[in-house]
Amino acid sequence: MIVLAHGSEIIDYLPQRPPVVMIDKLIYSGSDKTVSGLMIDAMNIFTVNGHFLKADLLKILHKQQLRV
């Protein structure tokens, strides 16, 4: 797998800022789709007691779609 960008390289292209950035690698970007990745660790704001809170992430993603 070839990663086009990762970590701090991506921040310049996103409207979000830490701690809400939910992408840490850009794998593919084309005219019809984009593929990205995220490694969720214990420091992520959507984790509680080692568990990822999917419901909170869905709320954030929904709000971001409304801004487009």
Q: What is the pLDDT of residues 25-44, one digit of tens each?
A: 988 888 888 888 888 888 88
Any idea what DSSP says for residue 39?
A: -
For residues 4 and 63, give the distance between their C-alpha atoms in angstroms, rounded to a whole number.
Answer: 26
Question: Residue ranges per domain, the chain?
Answer: 5-67
Q: What does the chain come to in residues?
A: 68
Rounded-to-10 torsion of CA 10, 8, 58, 45: -170
For residues 66 and 62, give the distance between their C-alpha atoms in angstroms, rounded to a whole number.
Answer: 6
pLDDT at 32: 86
Any idea what DSSP says for residue 44?
A: S
Q: What is the pTM of this model?
A: 0.63
